[in-house]
Structure 1
Amino acid sequence: MAILDQAGRRPIDDAPGLPARRLAAGLIDEVLRARTALDETYERMSPAFGLDAADAALARAIAITAFRRLGTIQHAINTRLERGSPRNSGPFEPILVAAAAQILFLDVPDHAAVDLAIRHLHEDGRSARYAALGNALLRRLAREREAILGETADPFADTPPWLAESWRAAYGEEVAAAIAASHAEEPPLDLTVKSDPAGWAEKLGGIVLPTGSVRLRERQPVPGLPGFTEGEWWVQDAAAALPARLLAPKPGERIADLCAAPGGKTAQLAAAGANVTAVDRSAPRLRRLRANLERLGLTAEIVATDAATWQAEPFDAVLLDAPCSATGTIRRHPDAAWTKTPEDRDRLVALQARLLNAAARLTKPGGRLVYCTCSLEPEEGERRIEAFLGANPDFARAPVRPEDIGGLGEAIDAAGDLRSLPHQLRGETARLSGWTGFYASRLIRL
């Protein structure tokens, strides 16, 4: 059965599963075209589709898988289109990418992925002209799936060339390849608990990591887990929890958390008893921070302003989690690999420099300053701190010690800074291994 669209112009196919594929292809198209984050795009687009929870989750899973394996998918499609992708074909490419993600990497019957993609192609006059081409291509992908997945052992197959080159230069071929390979795995779910990590690990079916975070063995809907409503823990990648621990907050200290939203680090500082001022320029993100603190039963002063220009009485300690290219989060947010460019990185470096100078002004003599980014790029980490220390002789490093981070000395670089890499922190399985790529430097104002 089909219904007409609101303008009464074209029948809309209401086949089961097709609305989810419409959203998945729309997300892929919008993220790549506008270079926006998948999570934000999903939050903005999904309400208009009116999907139930299962279909919404399927659409998101298709899009995430497409970005996680986009290099492999595009290679498989492009090498099987003799004349390349047709021009002026509307949504032809994102529809095929979404279908290929299902055929090659998801537990979706081939016939369903192909049939729904062809129905979707027919909904737009530009792509409908190439429905037969799309049908033949997708059926070929299904027939040749094993050959496609075994075509290459290149660990950089799903990494944009500029990132592969950057990681080779920074870490060497072997480590760069390990980083790229780790991004193929679904990420684990880590929690920061207020107290008793071992007890909560037992209750939630998890394991306690050396750093004190709890890692769940199985992914489950977070709001339904014990302790969520009571505010006993919050979701936070194990590496993302380290910068606040490096700051070593003490009860009663005045601490500024700059670029604070959505508030995981703010919660850590507040839970330690510090008097926290959380600063962020994004009002929507600060609303999430307030909601998170309310659920957790924690308090902080919240300031909606640009941290680069904010002025206040100097603090005992300052934490700056600076905006960055987020290449350390690719395993959790695979779209980041395909929406960022070297130019984005270089633009962010200038912003990081301004924010770091502002953080320095807010640190009182004898106070502590931790600068961090979730980036693998040295321009946003090691080189930023070297430039800062060269221009600010009143600051010096307080080197990170293995005991500060659960004995994980492999995550400390030669200068004494934190440098976690996605392939570190080996666990029982590939999915239970790894963490976000983070850089953090702990400084003291002399």
Structure 2
Amino acid sequence: MSKTGLPPRRAAHHLLEEITGEGRLMSELIGGGALDHLAAEDRARAQRLATDALRGADRADRMLKPYLKKEPPETVQNALRLGVIELVSGEAAHGVVNAYVEIISLNKHVSSFKGLTNAVLRRISEEGEKGWNKRANPLTPGWLRQPLVAAWGRKSVEGIEAAHFAGAALDLTAKGDASVVAEAVGGVLLPNNTVRLKDAGQVSALPGFETGDWWVQDAAAAIPVQVLDPKPGMKILDLCAAPGGKTMQLAASGAAVTAVDQSHSRMARVKENLKRVGLKADCIISDAFDFTDDGFDAILLDAPCSATGTIRRHPDLPYAKDGSEFMELIEQQERLIDHALTLLKSGGKLVFCTCSLLPDEGEIQIDDALERHEGLTVDTATREKAGIDPAWFTEEGGIRLRPDYWADLGGMDGFYIAVMIKP
């Protein structure tokens, strides 16, 4: 670990620059080696700093605004955001201020702002945690907030934003008895039998990791398979399978599972996960539209989507994206539903799900699918499973999950789920 703390701070600043300026995702940056030059402890600190700054960016900006005559360049604003996050969390003001002044000084394009950086962060240090706590929860960037308010109403969106700001606990899906896993890891059981840990520490050090007793999976992400209700011997296709949490759920039921994904690296991860937990599935690397085997009893289609339901875990998303690619994703989802139906036997189940908060990627997709396919119906018989509140049932027969649901238990990712029956 660095003695000065400057390397992880510079790395965190670089992450913010790439996310807010270049539209790149945190996972893409870290997977591409953006933090590989740091020691392990500094890597963790840099990622944590950047994540916290993104999660609290709107609140940080509001705290900074009284001290800025006009908004500085984004590079400076990102340094100030990081400084705010550290100062309000109790870091020594002297070290924090000096570090971000140096970061600005080292950038010739904005070095003239080092005096402003110094003055503003010193003022923020005087406000400290008290000033931070009197500000409202951070708002979602406007390009996403507007459609969310239109869909769910302002009060509900405020609840969603509170869940986003709070972040996410670690959720585990048990291969066997969930209560045994909960006791072993010191977690609590959620209504759908997901095990939740608030302070998990290192995942691989938890009891049951080496023996494959569980895998990491948000509670909401476990519900699509639970409402599919797989049975031993069923022939089930997991289309767009990576990273494999749902594949493992299906395999654990005793079903004969075929997992398809077009990414070699992501499918390698699916195979690794299956091996660790001692489960089997036929893993095929293929574009979903090129896969033509048919006669499946059930298909799980976790379609590519905006991922707006995962902001609790990925606060970079609303800063890296602007919604411009959503129409292409929506059209792809339509095509995937149509293709999946050709692979399903008559009377078979198609579970469509997306980790999205947008009705265009959920409720509206199902309405449109029912119009395109005569005789296609939505099965509501399994909606009672998985501890689902009837208030989450939707008009067309699906299930809407939101981050503000189970708020007293720590929330969940946003998801939409519907079970369709092929005529």
Cα distance in 1, alignment partners of residues 278 and 242 from structure 2: 17
Percent of paired sites with the same residue: 39
Question: Is 1:253 aligned with 2:240?
Answer: no
Question: Is 1:42 aligned with 2:30?
Answer: yes
Q: Which residue of 1 aligns with 2:57?
A: 70
Question: Is 1:61 aligned with 2:48?
Answer: yes
> Could you say what secondary structure the match of 2:7 adopts?
helix
Deviation at 1:96, TM superposition (A): 2.5
Cα pair 1:23 1:59 within 8 Å, conserved: yes
Q: Which amino acid in the other structure matches residue 100 of structure 1?
A: V
Cα distance in 1, alignment partners of residues 321 and 34 from structure 2: 23
Cα distance in 2, alignment partners of residues 434 and 227 from structure 1: 24
Q: Which residue of 1 aligns with 2:323?
A: 342
Question: Is 1:118 aligned with 2:135?
Answer: no
Q: Which residue of 2 aligns with 1:301?
A: 282
Cα distance in 2, alignment partners of residues 93 and 426 from structure 1: 32
Deviation at 1:319, TM superposition (A): 0.4
Cα distance in 1, alignment partners of residues 33 and 359 from structure 2: 34
Q: Which residue of 2 aligns with 1:316?
A: 297
Cα pair 2:181 2:213 within 8 Å, conserved: no
Q: Which residue of 2 aligns with 1:356?
A: 337
Please list, as runs of the form range in 1=range in 2, the aligned pairs for 1:174-185 lying within 5 A after superposition: 174-185=155-166
List gaps (5 residues or longer) in structure 2: none
- Alpha-carbon distance change, 443 to 95 in structure 1, aligned in 2, over 3 angstroms: same
Please list, as runs of the form range in 1=range in 2, the aligned pairs for 1:168-247 lying within 5 A after superposition: 168-247=149-228
TM-score by length of 2: 0.94
Q: Which amino acid in the other structure matches residue 33 of structure 2?
A: M
List gaps (5 residues or longer) in structure 1: 1-13
Q: Which amino acid in the other structure matches residue 393 of structure 2?
A: I
Deviation at 1:228, TM superposition (A): 0.2
Q: Which residue of 2 aligns with 1:393?
A: 374
Cα pair 1:78 1:85 within 8 Å, conserved: no
Matched residue count: 422
Cα pair 2:227 2:382 within 8 Å, conserved: no
Which of 125, 132, 135 lines up with 1:142 in the alignment? 125
Cα distance in 2, alignment partners of residues 443 and 30 from structure 1: 41
Cα distance in 2, alignment partners of residues 358 and 314 from structure 1: 13
Cα distance in 1, alignment partners of residues 91 and 76 from structure 2: 20
User: Deviations for 1:135-191, whole angstroms, at most 9, x for unmatched residues?
Assistant: 1111122223457435643x5x43112322212211122212211222110211110
Cα pair 2:294 2:342 within 8 Å, conserved: no
Cα distance in 2, alignment partners of residues 374 and 408 from structure 1: 18
Q: Which residue of 1 aligns with 2:421?
A: 444
Cα distance in 2, alignment partners of residues 143 and 296 from structure 1: 51
> Could you say what secondary structure the match of 1:45 adopts?
coil
Question: Is 1:95 aligned with 2:95?
Answer: no
Cα pair 1:325 1:340 within 8 Å, conserved: no
> Cα RMSD between the aligned structures?
1.9
Deviation at 1:47, TM superposition (A): 4.4
Which of 303, 309, 316 lines up with 1:328 in the alignment? 309
Cα distance in 2, alignment partners of residues 158 and 49 from structure 1: 33
